[in-house]
């Protein structure tokens, strides 16, 4: 990454950090783009060079995250059982959201605008995960691989839906690991 790219990334992160702090302190609706720009020490125009709006600040993923997802996927051994790979990838992805997942969830619960948003902070990741599974799967085993992926995603969604508001992120991570263990193919419910 050259100096210009590093500066752009630093600006993107400064804007996001300022916005998330203000959203946490004041609430999503009460925070203006002007306040975010001032807190990040950038102009309003610069804010819009990096984000389409306030909603994008909440949901857009760090420009380096895609490389991190690819590494999570690429690091899985080719001969590893698919379920083990999915468990490692999903857990690693969630771990990468540690610094903001609870805040994003709280903001969605508090803000009617964000609650109605169709955006999800994992949409791009899940699309790439589906492509990765397809690339690792023989045509003869597509049904089994797709089923395992969908069950793993349902386990992750269940962990998220049942995550109590007062439980810290580490509790959510344990909940996710439990759901993935219980959903593992060939595992009796328990």
Reported as a single tens digit per residue, the pLDDT across 32-76 is: 999 999 999 999 999 999 999 999 998 888 888 888 989 999 999
- Give me the pLDDT at residue 83, please: 96
pLDDT of residue 120: 61
Mean pLDDT, range 121-129, rounded to an integer: 82
pLDDT in tens, 11-29: 999 999 999 999 999 999 9
What mean pLDDT do residues 111-136 have? Answer: 82
What is the pLDDT, as a whole number, of residue 164? 93
pLDDT band at 188 (very low <50, low <70, confident <90, very high): low
Range 13-19, long-range pairs (CB < 8 A, 24+ positions) = 13/62, 14/40, 14/41, 14/42, 15/40, 15/42, 15/46, 15/47, 15/50, 15/51, 15/57, 16/51, 16/57, 16/60, 16/62, 19/54, 19/57, 19/58
pLDDT of 121 above 80: no
**How do residues 142-169 score in pLDDT, each as one tens digit?**
899 999 999 999 999 999 999 998 899 9
Does residue 77 surpass a pLDDT of 90?
A: yes
Domains and CATH numbers, the chain: 3-59 (1.10.10.60), 65-183 (1.10.357.10)
pLDDT, mean over the chain: 90
């Amino acid at each position: 990454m050259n100096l210009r790219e590093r500066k752009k990334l630093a600006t993107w992160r400064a804007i996001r950090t300022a916005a998330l702090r203000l959203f946490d302190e004041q609430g999503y609706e009460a925070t203006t783009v002007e306040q975010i720009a001032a807190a990040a020490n950038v102009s309003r125009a610069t804010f819009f060079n990096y984000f389409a709006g306030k909603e994008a600040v909440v949901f857009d993923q760090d420009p380096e995250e895609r490389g991190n997802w690819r590494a999570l996927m690429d690091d899985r051994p080719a001969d590893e059982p698919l379920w083990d790979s999915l468990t490692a990838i999903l857990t690693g992805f969630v771990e990468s959201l540690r610094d903001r997942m609870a805040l994003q969830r709280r903001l969605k619960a508090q803000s009617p605008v964000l609650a109605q948003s169709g955006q999800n902070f994992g949409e791009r990741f899940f699309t790439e995960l589906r492509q990765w599974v397809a690339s690792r799967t023989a045509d003869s085993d597509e049904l089994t691989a797709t089923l395992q992926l969908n069950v793993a995603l349902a386990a992750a969604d269940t962990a998220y839906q049942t995550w109590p508001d007062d439980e810290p992120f580490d509790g959510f991570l344990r909940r996710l690991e439990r759901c993935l263990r219980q959903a593992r193919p060939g595992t009796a419910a328990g």
